[in-house]
Amino acid sequence: MEERLQKYLANNGIGARRKCEEYIVQGRVKVNEKVVTQLGTKINPEKDLIEFDGKTVEKVNHYVYILLNKPIGYVTTVKDQFNRPTVLDLVKVDEKILPVGRLDMYTSGALILTNDGEFINKVTHPKNEVEKTYTVTVKGIVTKEDVEKLEAGVKIDDYISGKAKVKILKTNEEKQISRLQITIHEGKNREVRKMCEAIDKKVLALHRRKIGNIDVKNMKIGTWRYLKEQELKQLGLTNT
């Protein structure tokens, strides 16, 4: 049975489908020992030899879904060019897993890792509107007007942030600090930090509490566990 090359790569742990498309265009994928750069190329997984960066892409028969409560100081890449610690230094499993989306080095909290590329694509694609909930500590007192601006969307770089749900959890007049809960569903690069900067509030601490309804509140920082089938069903995005 034929399937598109990028889908095969994604389903077998190489990356999200969009990332796999980039790899094909870059000439990093071979089919039967020939480089293929044409998107939409169809392959027969039962007969064709598929290689990525010179290594055979084996068919994944068992998908794993892992929740990590990421500490500050770790990057969400498989390998880091500056030799900084990565989240894969914390999660040791036999399967070749990848982070689902990103958290910057100075952000802690919920991060899913998996060998299911289609799942990665579904969780990170804006059209699926998977909510991510953050706890944010900022310098300064956040006002009701600030909340309204954040909820309506603020200008970041060359775009307007998507509509957000924002709640003031605590303010401290003496220390001039506010604590917020911000829920978004796009999660572009450093979006929450930039949203706060747009209302002139510097982020002092940022923690992703939830992805959808999957919460890390009862997990110690730096620990991980397998996601339960019920949690995957709540997301409604699994291949299983």
All CATH 3.10.290.10 domain ranges in the chain, comma separated: 3-56
Long-range contacts of 75-84 (CB under 8 A, 24+ apart): 75/104, 75/105, 76/101, 76/102, 76/103, 76/104, 76/111
Burial (CB count within 10 angstroms: exposed 0-12, middle 13-18, buried 19+), residue 144: exposed
For residues 91 and 235, what is the distance between their CA atoms, to the nearest angstrom? Answer: 22
Q: Please tell us whether the domain made up of 3-56 is placed in CATH 3.10.290.10.
A: yes
Query: pTM for the complete prediction?
Result: 0.86
| Residue from 48, 53, 89, 104 carrying the catalytic annotation | 104
All CATH 3.30.70.1560 domain ranges in the chain, comma separated: 131-211
Residue 226 has, within 13 A of its CA and on its CB side, a CA count of 8
Q: Say whether 104 is catalytic.
A: yes
All CATH 3.30.70.580 domain ranges in the chain, comma separated: 65-127+214-235
Q: Please tell us whether the domain made up of 65-127+214-235 is placed in CATH 1.10.3720.10.
A: no
User: Identity (one letter) of the amino acid at 237?
Assistant: L
User: Identity (one letter) of the amino acid at 94?
Assistant: D
The pLDDT score that the predictor gives to residue 75 is 93
- Report residue 203 CA to chain centroid gap: 20
The pLDDT score that the predictor gives to residue 142 is 97
Q: Where are the alpha helices (DSSP H) in 97-228?
A: 117-124, 144-152, 191-198
pLDDT tens for the chain, 240 residues long, are 789 999 999 889 888 888 899 999 999 999 999 999 999 899 999 999 999 999 999 988 889 999 999 999 999 987 777 889 999 999 999 988 999 988 999 999 999 999 988 888 888 877 788 899 999 999 999 999 999 999 999 999 888 998 899 999 999 999 999 999 999 987 677 899 999 999 999 999 999 999 999 999 999 999 999 999 999 888 865 554
For residues 69 and 167, what is the distance between their CA atoms, to the nearest angstrom? Answer: 22
Q: Which residues contact 158 (CB under 8 A, 6 or more apart)?
A: none
**Contact criterion met (CB below 8 Å) for 5 and 42:** yes
The pLDDT score that the predictor gives to residue 236 is 64
**Contact criterion met (CB below 8 Å) for 138 and 180:** yes
Q: Which of 68, 79, 157, 143 is nearest to 107 (CA)?
A: 68
**Contact criterion met (CB below 8 Å) for 24 and 39:** yes
The pLDDT score that the predictor gives to residue 121 is 82
Q: Where are the alpha helices (DSSP H) in 12-97?
A: 17-25
Q: Please tell us whether the domain made up of 131-211 is placed in CATH 3.30.70.1560.
A: yes
The pLDDT score that the predictor gives to residue 200 is 96
